[in-house]
Amino acid sequence: MKKTDKLVQLLNSHIEDKDILEVACGGAEFSISASTMAKSVSCIDLDDSRLNELINHTDIKFQIMDASKMDYPDDSFDTIVIYNAFYHIQSQWEDIARECSRVLRKDGKICIASTWKLDIGLMKEYFGNDVKWEDEFLIVMM
């Protein structure tokens, strides 16, 4: 089973029939996995150089967009996922976190999940006891 399929299973209650946004999606593997269960999936990155062409066969809405200045209206998503990308966005985290909170619905969740060594250390440093291991993923829900 693909890692991202496993993560979607773990996050099932936050994915099934929900409007999902993946931030800093890179290849968008998480979005592709989530699209089998979610109501809708949107994903953004600063560029499309890594984007998996499989996305063309799905309903996923990919956009080139800076996560620290999103174009989405307030209260657009039920769940926002940042997968294997925390290290790459850490210097912008304050702005990205503010934007994520703005576009998230009232009872929504932001999920940062990673299997990457570089992310793991940083996530522990930033989020302390709020991080937890689920299978091979270090996860923080906020």
Ligand X SMILES: C[S@@+](CC[C@H](N)C(=O)[O-])C[C@H]1O[C@@H](n2cnc3c(N)ncnc32)[C@H](O)[C@@H]1O
Which residues of this protein are in contact with ligand X, per CB under 6 A?
24-27, 29, 44-47, 50, 66-68, 83-85, 88-89, 92
Closest distance to ligand X from the beta carbon of 106 (Å): 24
Minimum distance from residue 91 beta carbon to ligand X (Å)? 9
Please state the closest distance from residue 60 (CB atom) to ligand X, in A: 13
Q: What is the nearest approach in angstroms of ligand X to the Cβ of residue 76?
A: 16
User: And the tokens for 113?
Assistant: 């999940």
| Complex with ligand X: residue 21 or 107, whichever CB lies closer | 21
CB closer to ligand X, 37 vs 46 = 46
Q: Which is nearer to ligand X, 30 or 131 (CB)?
A: 30
Q: How far is the CB of 35 from ligand X (least distance, A)?
A: 15
- Closer by beta carbon to ligand X, 45 or else 78: 45
d(CA 123, CA 9): 22
Q: Tally Cβ neighbours within 10 Å of residue 2.
A: 11
Yes or no: say if 67 and 44 are a contact pair by the CB < 8 Å rule: yes
Beta bridge partners of 64: 45
By beta-carbon distance, which residue lies closest to ligand X?
26
Q: Which is nearer to ligand X, 106 or 117 (CB)?
A: 117
Could you give the CA distance from residue 83 to residue 4 in angstroms, rounded to a whole number? Answer: 9
